[in-house]
Amino acid sequence: MPTTRGPYAKTARVRSGILDAAMEVFAETGYRATTMKEIAERAGISQRGLVHHFANKAELLAAVLEVREAQSALLMPPLGSSIDAFLGMLEVVADNNLRPGLVELYSVLTAEGASPEHPGHEHFRERYDDLRNYFSVAFDALREQGELESPLDSDQLAAGFVGLLEGLQVQWLYDRRTIDLEPILRAFLTSIIPRYAELSAAAKVHEGERALSTGSAE
């Protein structure tokens, strides 16, 4: 399998190091208080070298957000899934537990991004719109299957689920020993999807069979 060598490989390594450094500094001090100088120092390069890769702080923030969204997207089933959508989100939660710095980063940036002047404002507005729509579609699918029991409509349930998820993440940052997101989220889902455990188990079996089938085809 060919590998990237020479200046292109070096450039990729430098950019990756810059993004890692930016994630750390943004999480520690927020976007507004962070300077390009701090990021350059954390990345171990000069400010001139930093600007060569990212022209300004807003461009760097956009790259950081893009990387994280891409990482999360790999764990999420496509739009239109039902129970799989929630299993995918629980995988993202488990992944986030291993990266508290990223959870902190998002918590800081989403609060700052509420201001329309913040460069991340549109990103987070679209992210919330997409998340609510994603889970609303999943709730619709479960309702059509006769698996959903709630007086709330799918849009309301989606907004509530996203609010619960993100509120718990903030509490987890303050007290990781007491707050465990996964069982709370599963309990909430079971309260409105009575057969949640059974459906989840069946979905996991199906996913395993599909993976084996794909592997055999290769």
- The pLDDT score that the predictor gives to residue 210 is 56
Contact assessment for residue 165 and residue 86, using Cβ atoms and an 8 Å cutoff = no
Q: What's the CATH number where 55 sits?
A: 1.10.10.60
Residue 70 lies in a domain: no
Q: Look at residues 203, 70, 90, 92 and name the one whose alpha carbon lies nearest to residue 141.
A: 203
Claim: this prediction has a pTM higher than 0.95? no
pLDDT of residue 29: 85
* Dist. CA 26–CA 101, nearest whole Å: 9
> For a pLDDT cut of 70, what percent of the chain falls above it?
91
For 51-57, what is the mean pLDDT?
94
pLDDT (average), residues 68-85: 87
Question: pLDDT for 157-169, tens place per residue?
Answer: 999 999 999 999 9
| Ordered DSSP codes for 92-150 | HHHHHHT-HHHHHHHHHHHHHTTSTTSTTHHHHHHHHHHHHHHHHHHHHHHHHTT----
Q: Which pLDDT band, with edges at 50, 70 and 90, does 1 fall under?
A: very low
At residue 178, the pLDDT reads 95
CATH of residue 212's domain is: 1.10.357
Residue 137: pLDDT band with limits 50, 70, 90 = very high
pLDDT exceeds cutoff 70 at 116: yes
In a domain, 109, yes or no: yes
Same domain, 79 and 13: no
User: What is the amino acid identity at position 16?
Assistant: S
Top-confidence range, 8-12, 26-30, 205-209:
26-30
* Boundary residue ending a domain (44, 64, 84): 64
Q: How far is CA 30 from CA 96, 107, 110, 140, in A?
A: 19, 9, 10, 37
| Same-domain check for residues 45 and 85 | no
* Whether residues 85 and 163 fall in one domain: yes
Cα–chain center distance at 129: 14
Length of the chain: 218
Model confidence at 43: pLDDT above 60: yes
The Cα–Cα gap between 177 and 186 comes to 18
* 156 pLDDT higher than 80: yes
Q: Same domain, yes or no, for 49 and 119?
A: no
Q: Which of 64, 86, 102 is the last residue of a domain?
A: 64
Q: Which residues contact 61 (CB under 8 A, 6 or more apart)?
A: 22, 26, 31, 109, 119, 120
Distance (Å, rounded) from C-alpha 122 to C-alpha 117? 10
24: containing domain: 1-64
Domains held by the chain: number = 2
